[in-house]
A and B are shown apart, each in its own frame.
Chain A
Amino acid sequence: MWQFPVSDQVPQISGNRQACGNSFDKQQRTFIQMRTVLKVVDNSGAKKVMCIQALKGKKGARLGDTIIASVKEAMPNGKVKKGKVVYGVVVRAAMQRGRCDGSEVKFDDNAVVLVDKQGQPIGTRVFGPVPHELRQKKHVKILTLAEHIA
């Protein structure tokens, strides 16, 4: 008696989705939270900081928010040294932020400008584009230093 071959294969649950080649989707498009490494885009001396606390926001910081960060990588002679705890303002975030007209903006990377407790930037130059959401957050000084406002 001829029997139908029974296929015992369990359907593959594609949980990791690595088959489709996600080389272009590696950027994490989520909040900036503890342990997030951000690029520093001013000339304060630091190169990379790691967020240790996002002020305001249970899930994390977004574009335009301030964070407390620890300097992980710094230039040899700069105003801030490695290991220092600093405040920073997020000027570029990979996660999209809604604008008041309904559209959304997002940037290519996560970048921060170091500020002091009062909100004044430590450095004297800011590199790269910055969003004009900073005006509403009263970070006017950063906007004046910026070379391009998106």
Chain B
Amino acid sequence: MRLEKCWFCSSTVYPGHGIQFVRNDAKIFCFCRSKCHKNFKMKRNPRKVKWTKAYRRLHGKDMTQDSTFEFERKRNRPERYDRNLAENTLKAIKKIDKIRSDRASDHIKNRLKTGKVQRQKEARKQLELGIHLVKAPLALAQDSSLCLPKIKVNVSQAQTEENQPMED
């Protein structure tokens, strides 16, 4: 039993699922479901189809290089069965899986961080400008703790001096 990777979307194909297409040049394409198969028949390039892993890796949306990927390399030489080895491998698979998914989600979080900071800044500014929509100005004046602290901006005096000769 071997868990293959779908040629189109790179998800795992478990036994009993999917279709294997053998082309006449003996290249084998495994598909996880008919969605991927139909896209392949339409001659779509997985690197251009947004929901595939190929696109996401190519455009930096998902983690590309990590040491945990080394564990999943395809090995064609069969290992002699050893009960201890099998047990340790099963334990290791669980742990490595957790580490890999944590690192992948961290990668995505870091990628989305800049957008989040930007959005928070914009929200803050919007609140400051439109505080009158949230609280009545009279209430703000009476209770100073409700409004945001006022920031003083120094206007340079040199500008006003330059204007005066122009008006004359």
Contact = CB atoms under 8 A, between A and B. Distances in A.
A108 B28 CA distance: 11
Given A24-B41, A24-B42, A24-B43, A101 B22 contact: no
Given A24-B41, A24-B42, A150-B28, A96 B19 contact: yes
Contact of A106 (B13, B16, B17, B22): B22
Interface string B1-43: 1000000000001011111111110101000000000000111
B28 A101 contact: no
B24 A105 contact: no
A148 interface: yes
A24 B37 CA distance: 12
Contacts, number: 52
A119 interface: no
Interface residues of B, number: 17
B21 A103 contact: no
B21 A101 contact: no
A78 interface: no
Given A24-B43, A150-B26, A106 B15 contact: no
A60 B28 CA distance: 26
Contacts of A128: 24, 26
Contact of A104 (B20, B24, B42, B43): B20
Contact of A108 (B16, B17, B19, B22): B22
A103 B21 CA distance: 11
Contacts of B22: 92, 105-108, 129, 131, 150
Interface in A73-95: 92
A147 B24 CA distance: 12
Given A24-B42, A101-B1, A129 B19 contact: no
A30 to B, nearest CB: 16
A86 to B, nearest CB: 22
Interface in A90-147: 92, 96, 101-109, 128-129, 131, 147
A23 B117 CA distance: 49
A69 to B, nearest CB: 20
B26 A103 contact: no
21 contacts: A24-B41, A24-B42, A25-B41, A92-B22, A92-B24, A102-B17, A103-B15, A103-B17, A104-B19, A104-B20, A105-B21, A106-B21, A106-B22, A107-B23, A107-B24, A108-B21, A108-B22, A128-B26, A129-B24, A147-B26, A150-B22
